[in-house]
Amino acid sequence: MTRRKSLRRLLPSPVIVWALCFTPTTAFTSFKVGSHVLQKTPLAAKGSGRKKNSGRGGGQGFGGGAPPEKTYDKVATTPRADVIDTESAMREFFSANEEWHPMFLDFATSSSVPAMTFLGNSMDPAATLAFDFDNTRDSDPWRRLDGIPTGDADRKVLEDVLNCMEASLIDIPVNEQTKDDDDDLQFLEEGRRLLAISRFHVLQGVTGGSVECYDALFSTCWSELMELRFKNEASTGSLIVVPDYDFGNLQRFTDMNLLRPLEWLGLQTDFEVTSLHRGSPAIRLLHKLQDMPDEPWNEGIDGDVDSSTQL
């Protein structure tokens, strides 16, 4: 329970403070989206025991009903258990996205991953010369994208999504009479994923009903996957909000164009990918999400969280 309350203090209503889990040397930075201030700060740790709510900060207001649907379990983060011909699915995916092959070759973890049957010889140095993420050409389908929306309309959509994400955490039930239970674990698991998001995109008008819409979403997702891998920082992520996309279709897009290809490239352990609906449909990409630390969480006078020793 104390871990939940410590994390809740990092998300005080009405201003959400996001703990972006960067490396210990990363300096504190922040930006504001509507009423939300997004700021790098450490995440609560395991093993701190229980402590009654002191009434300070944001440690109250937890839900008492059924918890929201999990966004991190096996159902949400692994390909659907559809009976499909995997080889045919790979052939169709890689033949339809030939212009992306240089990036896929760079992504492939070894020459033995299933995707290499359709990508050629990764041991040939010339095969990857066409890919240079630092020097993207106009003809390349991938892009180095800004990590924060700048348009007012996009920022308003993002603000609404953040409100819903906060509400989904608050809706997780709490039982003051028990030690950490399944609901506390869900709060921590959802919270640490929310806190790992470091990049944000809003794709308005992308509905999935045209090739242009498909290409825009595909390009944003794979460009962000490469951005996260290129920087190679643990517990970082990207949230891609598509407010006009049908959620069922987005789940299918995520399954066939992200989850399965990442497995074929051998990257399923480096990335956690899921589609979710918090105010608007969205895809969440997480890179090398680390476990919560085992060392005790330090608390200051009157139960205030002391984060100074956590860096």
Over residues 230-280, the pLDDT tens digits come to 999 999 999 999 999 999 999 999 999 999 999 999 999 999 999 999 999
pLDDT band at 54 (very low <50, low <70, confident <90, very high): very low
Assigned token pair, 23: 């490396």
The percent of residues in the chain predicted with pLDDT above 90, rounded, is: 46
By percentage, how much of the chain surpasses pLDDT 70?
66
Q: pLDDT confidence of 67, banded at 50, 70, 90?
A: confident
pLDDT tens, position by position, 171-228: 888 776 666 778 888 888 888 899 899 999 999 999 988 999 999 999 999 999 999 9
CA 225 – CA 288 distance, rounded (Å): 11
Say how far apart CA 106 and CA 18 lie, in whole Å: 32
Q: Identify the pLDDT of residue 185.
A: 85
For residue 57, pLDDT over 90 is answered with no
Neighbours of 235 (CB within 10 A): 23
**pLDDT confidence band for 81 (50 / 70 / 90):** low
Quote the pLDDT of residue 69: 83
Lowest mean pLDDT among 27-31, 45-49, 75-79: 45-49
Tell me 184's DSSP state.
H
pLDDT, tens digit, 9 for 90 and up, residues 93-136: 999 999 999 999 999 989 899 999 998 754 555 555 568 888 88
More confident residue, 28 or 226: 226
Structure confidence at residue 127 (pLDDT): 52
Q: What sections of the chain are H helices per DSSP?
A: 2-9, 74-77, 86-96, 101-107, 116-119, 152-170, 182-196, 211-231, 247-254, 260-264
SS (H, E, C) 95-106: HHCHHHHHHHHH
Residues 6+ apart with CB under 8 A from 178: 1
Question: What is the pLDDT at residue 65?
Answer: 61
Q: Is residue 1 very low, low, confident or very high in pLDDT (cuts 50, 70, 90)?
A: low
pLDDT at 6 over 70: no
Q: Which residue has the higher pLDDT, 126 or 157?
A: 157
Please report the pLDDT score of residue 306 as a whole number: 46
The whole-angstrom separation of Cα 79 and Cα 15 is: 35
pTM of the model: 0.76
pLDDT of 311 strictly over 60: no
* Helical residues (DSSP H) of 97-151, grouped into ranges: 101-107, 116-119
51-76 mean pLDDT: 56
pLDDT of 155 over the 70 cut: yes
Band (pLDDT 50/70/90 cuts) for residue 78 is: confident
CB atoms within 10 A of CB 119: 23
Burial of 46 (0-12, 13-18, 19+ CB in 10 A): middle
Preceding peptide of 141 cis, ω within 30°: no
